[in-house]
Amino acid sequence: MLADIWRRLGLDIANPLVQGTTTLTFGPTITLSGSGTITSTRTGSTDSGPAAGVMLLDVWQRLGLDPANPMTASDTAINAGAVSQTVSESAGTVTVQRA
């Protein structure tokens, strides 16, 4: 579960977060359906990630919760502490890739 959260935030360098209009991929895939009310359905296996402490620190910093390392976000980058990600968009698909 923690590895999925970590990956969903685009923190796994091997599996960038790719979000289109109807799907999110980051290893597993989340299919988005509906209008007004959106339903998210996850498919794919849950893989392990690095040590839990490493993932928790990454998530904590990525969410902007580390007062010593404020998160900054722009159209092209997200940075906080040890987390550095590029953000790109092409034809309506956004990719968040850990640098």
With 0-12 / 13-18 / 19 or more C-beta atoms within 10 angstroms meaning exposed / middle / buried, residue 68 is exposed
Q: What is the structure's pLDDT at 36?
A: 86
Task: Kindly state the tokens that stand for 4.
Answer: 């999925």
Domain range summary for the chain, segments of one domain joined by +: 2-98
Cβ–Cβ under 8 Å, residues 86 and 99: yes
Q: Output the pLDDT for position 45.
A: 83
pTM over 0.75: yes
Q: What is the pLDDT of residue 32?
A: 93
- Residues in the chain where the model's pLDDT stays below 70: none
For residue 35, the model assigns a pLDDT of 86
Q: What does the pLDDT read at residue 47?
A: 83
